[in-house]
Structure 1
Amino acid sequence: MTTVPGFEPHWTAPGNVRTFVTTRRGGVSRPPYDTFNLARHVGDDAAAVAENRRRLRAGLDLPAEPAWTTQVHGVHCTRARGEGAEDGEADAGMVAEPEAVAVVLTADCLPVVLARDDGTAAAVAHAGWRGLAGGVVEAAVGALGSAADLHAYLGPAIGPEAFAVGEEVRAAFVDQAEEDRHAFHAHGDRWLANLYILASQRLKRLGVGPHRISGGGFCTFSDAERFFSHRRDGETGRMATLVWLEEA
């Protein structure tokens, strides 16, 4: 049984694909990173982050140190390999062996987890609006192969009642796909954007079956007890969404 605060999502992936989403509680970081911040790049004390990461690995009995990277709202997808923990920049990671753990860090952006039907590979992407519009989901899908063989899980992100954006954000999506207009609702001179709809529609267009897309319904902004939110708090910590494979 895990001792890490968080949850293992219920989704349609094969049983050997393990996924875990952390929350903000259960660590040692002090405000404004209280308490289970797992990111080194946000200004938190390095020793506190190291202890939080140690608790994460021990509490989940992970097969390896997660392949930590810094998310930069891009589309680069790395491959996690065993103990090859790294601190470079990437917005998606994939695993294709049981001795590796892929991870992304979020505090409003949407974590999208993908897994093959046969349980031989999985990936996780950091999909804020820039990453979604830029193609980070496509990059993660491409790393895994045919979209028709994939399952998807949408983790905690800022909800559609809190994510106000400008016309340039709406245009970035609608100019690519007219149907994405359904993910935006007028809010004064701005728009309320639904990352869950945007991600789901993109996954469907790529060929992921709608019955294979799970998750959604969170709001990191409004749930301050469980989640970090950069838009709500500014200086804050990051949650982790991890994926790894067990021996089939």
Structure 2
Amino acid sequence: MPALILPQWPQPETVRSCSSTRQGGVSLPPYASLNLGSHVSDLPEHVASNRQRLQQIASLPAAPHWLDQVHGTDVARLTQKTPHQTIRADAAYTDEPGVVCAAMSADCLPVLFCSRAGDEVAAAHAGWRGLNAGILENTLSAFRADPQDVMVWFGPAIGPQQFEVGAEVREAFMDNDAQAATAFTPFINSPSFDNNTSLVSNKYLADIYQLARLRLQAAGVRHFYGGDRCTVSEPASFFSYRRDGITGRLASLIWLI
């Protein structure tokens, strides 16, 4: 059966959450084995079986609302009446029990949100483009609760020792917040020479967890959890697009009971 990660955070009694690993499904390589993404050329019957296994082992009250994630900033507001059809958005919010919000990932950052009162939850998918464009702030703005009364859990994503980016990514974040510089470290293994006299790094290692934390702190969030796994360096547990190219998708889920 699927192996799940249970977030270590003080979620209220009315909230349930989990994140999948790649273990416990029926998909064949390169999607082995619990691939939950229907858009990666895996066999549809395998994806359907994996999703059913996840629903069973996680004791989900209903099938998750799967999103068509496009690295954008749209947030879907889900209710009991929302049809179970793919919605184009990169985050999902609900304040109704029995509605399962889900974010798929394979290196991008999945973020779970929950009000401390236990009456609102959300799941967001944050690649660097969506993160810089404001997907997390948009998700937070869906909450009635004050940002300081919202908790955040960071699911498994590409770690700060693996996320190599170009200078343009660093500059894009710094255009929005100069403090973002603290989340970038020059990547000394990827140098270029300037007139053959000085060594200049044009690549950086980015800490996507820190970038997300900075953005949410600026928006008023004070309670952060998770952010200690690396999809690239843990191949037995996680899918990674950066590592493998063709691969499956994980899911991070949250719901009210």
Question: Hey, what does 2:199 align to over in structure 1?
Answer: none
Matched, 1:214 2:225: yes
* Aligned with residue 33 of structure 1, among 31, 34, 37: 31
In the alignment, the residues of structure 1 paired with residue 251 and residue 162 of structure 2 have an alpha-carbon distance, to the nearest angstrom, of: 21
- The structure with the largest alpha-carbon Rg is 2
Structure 1 residues without counterparts, runs of 5 or longer: none
Aligned twin of 2:10? 12
- What is the Cα deviation at residue 15 of structure 1? 2.6
Aligned to 2:211: 198
Count of residues in correspondence between the two structures: 242
Kept in 1, the 8 Å contact 2:26–2:32? The answer is: yes
Q: Which amino acid aligns with 1:9?
A: P
What is the alpha-carbon distance in structure 2 between the residues aligned to residue 31 and residue 218 of structure 1?
Answer: 23
State the alpha-carbon separation in 2 of the partners of residues 178 and 61 from structure 1: 43
CA RMSD of aligned residues (A): 1.1
User: After the TM superposition, which parts of structure 1 deviate over 4 Å for at least 4 consecutive aligned residues?
Assistant: none
- 2:67 maps to what in 1? 69
Matched, 1:178 2:178: yes
Q: How far apart in 2 are the matches of 1:73 and 1:222?
A: 23
1:29-87, CA deviations, whole angstroms, 9 ceiling, x for partnerless residues?
11100000001011110000000011111222211110011211111111233373221
Distance between the aligned counterparts of 1:102 and 1:96, measured in 2? 10
1:88 CA displacement: 2.6
- Give the Cα separation in 1 of the matches to 2:26 and 2:72: 30
Distance in 1 between the 2:2 and 2:256 partners?
19
Question: Per-residue displacement from partner, 1:187-225 (whole Å, max 9, x unpaired)?
Answer: 13201000010011111100011xx10111111001000
* In 1: Cα distance, 2:27 partner to 2:79 partner: 28
Is there any run of 5+ residues in structure 2 with no aligned partner, and where? Answer: 192-201
**Equivalents in 2 of 1:161, 1:61: separation in Å?**
35
Q: Is the 8 A contact 2:2 2:34 kept in 1?
A: no
Superposed, which structure 2 residues align to 1:138-149 within 5 Å?
138-145=137-144, 146-149=146-149
Equivalent of residue 20 in structure 2, options 19, 22, 26: 22
Partner of 2:163: 163
Greater strand fraction, Structure 1 or Structure 2: 2
2:102 aligned partner: 103
Q: Give the share of equivalent positions with the same residue, in percent.
A: 44
- Residue 133 (str. 1) matches residue 144 (str. 2): no
The secondary structure found in structure 2 opposite 1:39 is coil
TM-score by length of 1: 0.95
Q: Is the 8 A contact 1:12 1:214 kept in 2?
A: no
